[in-house]
Structure 1
Amino acid sequence: MASSSVVFACITPHGLPILKELAGDEPHLMAKTRASMEKLGQQMRAEEVDVIVVITPHGLRADNQFTIAASSFMEGELSELTVAQMVGNTRLDVGERVHMRRVVDQAFARAIGVASNSASLPMAVINFATQKGVFSTLPLDWGSLIPLSFMPDMPIVVVNSARSRTYQEHIRLGEQIARVATSMGRRIAIIASCDWSHTHDPSGPYGWHPDAAVLDDSVVACISRGDLEELMQFSEEIIENAKPDGIWQALVLAGAVPPSARRPRLLSYERPTYFGMICARML
């Protein structure tokens, strides 16, 4: 499957200061992660990819459903003001901005929606304003925009994970994405956009808990081995304490790239602020 459809797969973070333009007066804060993202972008450019599929936790949401953007375009903008708002700081000026507009592979997105619903996976296929054209534009969230900033400019498909759905359903969704890619002759790259524990810093918005380090250390080990299915073993208590937002997206990738096809390569892990960030290539 992987050789004919999924030709590149990676796990990346989406912290806004990864982009130099949004790092303010601390450009070296996430330099290690930034270097890893640049390397992943170079590696993706070396593959013959038709479309990039981003699995994000921060995009279009629908109660108890996965979502997929099937508009003609997606567009978003982030600024230093956005960074300040996320950590609860007071700031009045916008500062540096990052803007992105990408073409969506509508046919591929709609086909994934049809296949998912046919497989009893609840998928909302989302558009805006018109069926296609310049007005058919949906917002591009930071979970997509940040990793895409390092990748080649090509058509995208953005899928939102759904924590209300089971882990197994996320794996099955990944399987459907790969099957549709094969049936349509698409050579795809998959990005699982994942930040990890958010309770590493007592001054951060979620406070500190020792389970953050415990969970992240385990995640690093699982990803390094390519054992993504092991991410399903964390208890509800440790997830609540550590507050990761990467498990669900990584499991979609796990479904799209079966264990026998994975070639795990951990590029970096760091937590310079309150949340953990992993860069890894799975294929």
Structure 2
Amino acid sequence: MKCWIYLMNPFVFACITPHGSEILEALSDDASLMARTRRSMNSLGHAMHQSAPQVIVVLTPHGTRAEGQFAIANPERLRGTVEHHDHAVVMERLVDRDLARDIAQTALADEVPTALLNYATSEGPLSCMPLDWGAIIPLAFMPEVPVVVINPPRAFEFTPHLRFGASLARAAAQCGKRVGLIASCDWSHTHAETGPYGFHEAAVKLDTQVVACIESGNFEALAAFEPRLIEDAKPDGLWQTLVLAGAIPPHVRRVEVLSYEVPTYFGMICAAVHAPKPDVQP
């Protein structure tokens, strides 16, 4: 079995972001509700703008899934709508298909189950797939550049996520472009009885541990969470963060947590994962 470990950080900027709809003021009836997270997202967006990426890779839990595989969207375009409080935000982005294919080829060569996804036609105006809210919300704060959107499988065996992250880093390093990386993650979804999943005391327990792991830069510790705790707390961020862990190794991982809050029924963390200085070449 091949398992590649990339030793540097090939991303000009990386971050962990939430994707609650009301982070966008256009979708909120109460601008104070997620104000702290919105300020943090503006800071992350500013940092991404300053890093001048030519393409942004988004790891989302809500896109089109391929069970047991890392699903990489590979149409010409992605287009989607997020609706909330009778308001809507529409977004369309071009796909960097060269990088999408390179990531898939590298992961498959590393024996990580991976699928390239398209719809309708191989190219042209009908080659378009849905852009989900897990990507739209963070991308609304970021530069308008082509994207690669990836949906990791939600299994409790996390080794493939670390391995896929290493494959992703190698493909990014070799593509010759300035690549940004977003791990789109909400955390426990059982903080409130009024939420769609009800209340469970596991929510506070899991989120407390997640914040500690992210603050310390020890993303790999998330792989040790018990399946029962995960099932009770219902986070959707573990899988993307573990891909990020594989993509940016601990010795070059400089993490800055901007905020954590639970304004409704789910937890939200904003964190920057800084790249090396620009004169350091991967």
- Give the TM-score taking structure 2 as reference length: 0.92
Once the two structures are TM-superposed, the CA of residue 133 in structure 1 deviates from its matched residue by 2.3
Offset from partner CA, 1:188-239 (integer Å, 9 cap, x none): 1110000000110011111111111011011111101111001112111111
Greater CA deviation, 115-124 or 269-278? Answer: 115-124
**Number of matched pairs:** 269
Match status 1:194 vs 2:194: no
Distance (Å, rounded) in 1 between the aligned partners of 2:207 and 2:67:
28
Distance (Å, rounded) in 2 between the aligned partners of 1:128 and 1:237:
36
Contact 1:269/1:278 (CA < 8 Å) preserved in 2?
A: yes
Distance (Å, rounded) in 1 between the aligned partners of 2:78 and 2:241:
23
Contact 2:189/2:265 (CA < 8 Å) preserved in 1?
A: yes
Contact 2:62/2:133 (CA < 8 Å) preserved in 1?
A: yes
Distance (Å, rounded) in 1 between the aligned partners of 2:163 and 2:178:
19
1:14 — aligned with what? Answer: 19
Greater CA deviation, 126-135 or 150-159? Answer: 126-135
Once the two structures are TM-superposed, the CA of residue 171 in structure 1 deviates from its matched residue by 0.8
1:40 — aligned with what? Answer: 44
Match status 1:242 vs 2:233: yes
Contact 2:9/2:248 (CA < 8 Å) preserved in 1?
A: no
- The 3 A distance-change label for structure 1 pair 14 and 112 is same
Greater CA deviation, 63-72 or 191-200? Answer: 63-72
Contact 1:4/1:187 (CA < 8 Å) preserved in 2?
A: no
Selected match of 2:101 from 95, 110, 113: 110
1:261 — aligned with what? Answer: 252
Aligned positions of 1:1-283 closer than 5 A: 5-23=10-28, 25-80=29-84, 95-164=86-155, 166-283=157-274
- The 3 A distance-change label for structure 1 pair 45 and 2 is farther
Offset from partner CA, 1:94-118 (integer Å, 9 cap, x none): x211000001000110111111112
Distance (Å, rounded) in 2 between the aligned partners of 1:232 and 1:62:
21
Query: One-letter code of the match for 1:77?
Result: T
CA RMSD of aligned residues (A): 1.3
Query: One-letter code of the match for 1:48?
Result: A
Query: One-letter code of the match for 1:261?
Result: V
Distance (Å, rounded) in 2 between the aligned partners of 1:252 and 1:4:
13
The percentage of counterpart residues that share the same residue type is: 51
- The 3 A distance-change label for structure 1 pair 66 and 165 is farther
Once the two structures are TM-superposed, the CA of residue 264 in structure 1 deviates from its matched residue by 0.6
Once the two structures are TM-superposed, the CA of residue 165 in structure 1 deviates from its matched residue by 6.6
Once the two structures are TM-superposed, the CA of residue 62 in structure 1 deviates from its matched residue by 1.3
Tell me the secondary structure at the aligned position of residue 264 of structure 1: strand
Q: Provide structure 1 residue ranges, at least 5 long, that are not aligned to the other structure.
A: 82-94
